Structure 1
Amino acid sequence: MDCAYFDAGVCRSCSLMGEPYATQLAGKQRHAEALLAPFGVGRWLPPVASGERDYRNKAKMVVGGTVDAPTIGILDADGYGVDLEACGICSPGHRAAFPVLARFISLARIAPYDVARRTGELKHLIVTESPDGELMVRFVLRSTEPVGRLRKHLPTLLAELPQARVVTANILPEHKAVLEGEQELVLTEHQTLPMRLNDVTMHLRPQSFFQTNTAIAEALYAEARDWIRELAPDRAWDLYSGVGGFALHLATPTDASGEDAPDRGVPGPIVTGIETSVEAVASAELSRSDAALARVRFAAGDATAFALGAAPADVPDLVVVNPPRRGIGPELARWLEASDVSHVLYSSCNAASLARDLAAMPSLRPVQARVFDMFPQTTHFEVMALLAR
């Protein structure tokens, strides 16, 4: 993939841009294999490739420039806005929406935030596109001052951007490099964005994490379900469950042939999902209720504390973990090592922290693993491993 922004030196976020995609994928596979080599992976499945471009379903774009000429993209070293409206890794739906959003910023007179002077209001936009082409648009603001104008001109935005299902104002008063603030004001009738993957529909709330690459997330969840069906566990925990991607896929009933059969099939395991984000748990619960899945439940809490506080009789056959980049950490790893859990499905966005965690669980060995290229044009990727005691 070629990128004019990269070639001009105005954006270097995609560090592998211009490198042949086959070379990128092979390098990620080698890196994963090298990190996990000490643990004797029983079988490496071929890596799952992504489309080279148009893959991002979520874009966090800094707003710079002026109220009459806003830029949507990043800031340069001096704090000035660099417009990236034609970014090739963003979805076509994003690229179509950015010019409309730029016009709306001017119409509603929302001054871009000036980082150096700490003036202005609009810090960045967070835009998420569903597999059906609907959008969630979040305006991250310094204060509630522009909210009245957002509401006043919202009909104009929805007329020009009818695919915008959810529009919100997120309030981030602090001057610091974080994604969002705690306060979220939903401005539209709809409050969730349906994300339809495989036979599961997840209802995404504004502050809920979702995998960035829809096609690869779909492949990841489908593969996890296939691996776990072969194990046929009675009970499972999904720790760091997010909006419930793994738990909802595992809990969907199947018929005797293994085909998805939500209305008539063999029930999946009883699944408990644990996640610190209250918003993500609310999303997962809505999805569970919508799908009428009685054998899965979600609760807000710390994954490690939940495991350490469980009674021995409540420990399941299988534990799924999908932690942030830091991994599950030594405390949860020690608990898993000492537990009676027979299998762990570990999905990692950082193979280095996965390797550290595996070193702390010597009796749980990776019987198979697979790389999923969630982030083409960068050095990052997802790797999923099935551990057996």
Structure 2
Amino acid sequence: MIKENDIFIVTGADYTSEGIGLAKVNDFPIFINNLIIGEEAEIKITKVMRNFATGKIIRFTKKSSDRITPLISETIHLAGCQFTQLDYAKEVEYKLSKVERALRVIGGISFKIEKIHAAKNPYFYRNKTVLPFGKRKNGKIYTGLFRHNTHEIIAMEKTHLDDELTSTVIAEIRKLIEKYNYEIYDEISHTGQIRKVMVRVSYYLREVMVVLITKDEQISNLDAFCRDLVMVCPNVTTIIQNVNSERTNVILGKKEKVLYGHGVINEELHDLKFTLSSKSFFQVNTLQAEVLYERALTIAGITKNDVVLDAYSGTGTIALLAAQKAKQVIGVEIVKDAVKDAEVNAKHNNITNVKFFKDDAGAFLTREIKNYNFSVVIVDPPRKGLSDEFINTLLKTLPPKIMYVSCDPATLARDLKKLTRKYNIEHIECVDMFPRTAHVETIVGLILKK
């Protein structure tokens, strides 16, 4: 019987789906942050649940040759940064095997994935970040990320994933919060003014959006705050106040006010221009997004005769790229603001053979299949994967090709198990969109069985 505070010597055997080290004591799983496969460590049990326990490393008795010194030492303690201490080549290798195992175990699919596209630089790639604020007893403001499984902020001057321009801008924001004596929000007492800051950076055009997330709408000296920030950070082209007065972990509130600029920034992707608002979905790794979309559309083999459905179309990135190859593209997205962004992006790029609809993808396909003879269906769903309704509709309407872009191997395997009743898997590739984390993108090409 394992109890809290028990001490064990364990060996790293695997990783959880979130990249946490996994060891076993008498076949009982122990999750241990910062433990690499093959390493031995003395651990202390910190919590015991019904099906697993968590442990903390006291000391290593054997370190892996795959362990590296993290670029920023604090990152080994952060949520969502589990591979910061692992050699990048080994991280990529593990991610490929993770996808293959999910397909085999969950989907019953044995498929050798030949290629995973590693990032040229696994650091400083994120074009969007959201950071909380903290305040020291001496009045100094700090930003950082949460310690794994806690709400404790680990103070960091910069992170190892965010665009370095983001860190420069946030450093100036901290100074201005001190200058204007703004109160930092406390989630326990629900007091204070400034909750978090969100920063978006366009990789190619170097435009910066700052979203100051506040509890209260009325904040003094915001005009002066904006003026000072733009003076020291000329790349900042727009500043937005987002008001979130609720007791919630949801980051953004419903009300926004543009304080400076036009409320959007511009980015380029494969020579197309995209306008991004604060709530626009856009892949956080611009360079790897270009790889992902180029490979997906190449595998799809779209021609000038194809009518394409882009389900979960977001701000229209894939749809607009596909429209350059296809006869017609229909994009379907449930988020109203994303549909508006997609329409603006189509207009800016003078692309006329694409239409966007605000609708549920499954309902749209069921209703409109008689009006559109879709030859290719592209799906890029959130982590939860495809809905049963959408899969059932695909299996009834039977478009000749399906291109599935997935950010979660488990839900991908689940969905492919259903789709392969009527489809053959033709091709699978992976793209490491999120280096130094446990997440990976997978592209699957499916062809209707004859």
Question: Shared topology, TM-score over 0.5?
Answer: yes
1:378 alignment partner in structure 2? 437
Give secondary structure in 2 for the equivalent of 1:312. coil
- Deviates most, 74-83 or 112-121: 74-83
Q: Any gaps of 5 or more consecutive residues in structure 1? A: 254-267
- Deviates most, 232-241 or 374-383: 232-241
| Residue identity matched to 1:236 | V
Distance in structure 2 (CA, Å) of the matches to 1:20 and 1:72: 27
Distance in structure 2 (CA, Å) of the matches to 1:116 and 1:248: 45
Distance in structure 1 (CA, Å) of the matches to 2:212 and 2:305: 43
| Residue identity matched to 2:435 | P
Shift of 1:6: 4.5
Contact map agreement 1:345 1:387 (CA 8 A) in 2? yes
| Residue identity matched to 1:222 | E
Shift of 1:44: 3.2
Contact map agreement 1:64 1:75 (CA 8 A) in 2? no
2:207 alignment partner in structure 1? 134
Shift of 1:379: 1.0
Distance in structure 2 (CA, Å) of the matches to 1:156 and 1:7: 30
Task: Summarize the Cα distance change of 1:372–1:311 in structure 2 as closer, same or farther, 3 Å threshold.
Answer: closer
1:173 alignment partner in structure 2? 245
Shift of 1:8: 7.7
2:399 pairs with one of 329, 341, 346: 341
CA deviation map 1:161-196 (0-9, x unaligned): 111112111111111111211112122222221121
Give secondary structure in 1 for the equivalent of 2:224. helix
1:264 alignment partner in structure 2? none
Matched residues, number: 373
Task: Summarize the Cα distance change of 1:2–1:154 in structure 2 as closer, same or farther, 3 Å threshold.
Answer: same
Task: Summarize the Cα distance change of 1:78–1:365 in structure 2 as closer, same or farther, 3 Å threshold.
Answer: closer
2:423 alignment partner in structure 1? 364
Shift of 1:110: 2.5
RCO (CA 8 Å, sep 6+): is it higher in 1 or 2?
1
| Residue identity matched to 1:140 | I
Q: Find the structure with the greater CA-based Rg.
A: 2
Q: Any gaps of 5 or more consecutive residues in structure 2? A: 1-67
Shift of 1:315: 4.0
Distance in structure 2 (CA, Å) of the matches to 1:186 and 1:31: 43
Task: Summarize the Cα distance change of 1:8–1:348 in structure 2 as closer, same or farther, 3 Å threshold.
Answer: closer
1:295 pairs with one of 353, 358, 372: 353
2:140 alignment partner in structure 1? 69
1:44 alignment partner in structure 2? 113
Distance in structure 2 (CA, Å) of the matches to 1:8 and 1:343: 42
2:93 alignment partner in structure 1? 26
| Residue identity matched to 2:430 | V
Contact map agreement 1:65 1:81 (CA 8 A) in 2? no
Shift of 1:309: 1.9
- Deviates most, 340-349 or 107-116: 107-116
Distance in structure 1 (CA, Å) of the matches to 2:195 and 2:82: 25
**1:205-224, aligned counterparts within 5 Å?**
205-224=277-296
Give secondary structure in 2 for the equivalent of 1:174. coil
Shift of 1:149: 2.4
1:308 alignment partner in structure 2? 366
Normalising by structure 2, report the TM-score.
0.78
Distance in structure 2 (CA, Å) of the matches to 1:230 and 1:45: 22
Task: Summarize the Cα distance change of 1:68–1:299 in structure 2 as closer, same or farther, 3 Å threshold.
Answer: farther
Q: Percent identity?
A: 26
1:259 alignment partner in structure 2? none
1:265 alignment partner in structure 2? none
Task: Summarize the Cα distance change of 1:157–1:343 in structure 2 as closer, same or farther, 3 Å threshold.
Answer: same
2:310 pairs with one of 210, 233, 238: 238
Contact map agreement 1:16 1:24 (CA 8 A) in 2? yes
2:124 alignment partner in structure 1? 54
Distance in structure 2 (CA, Å) of the matches to 1:332 and 1:10: 39
Contact map agreement 2:299 2:427 (CA 8 A) in 1? no
User: RMSD in angstroms over aligned alpha carbons?
Assistant: 2.1
Normalising by structure 1, report the TM-score.
0.90
2:337 alignment partner in structure 1? 279
| Residue identity matched to 1:25 | V
**1:97-136, aligned counterparts within 5 Å?**
97-131=169-203, 132-136=205-209
- Structure with higher strand content: 2
Is 2:210 the partner of 1:154?
no
| Residue identity matched to 2:113 | W
Contact map agreement 1:45 1:368 (CA 8 A) in 2? no
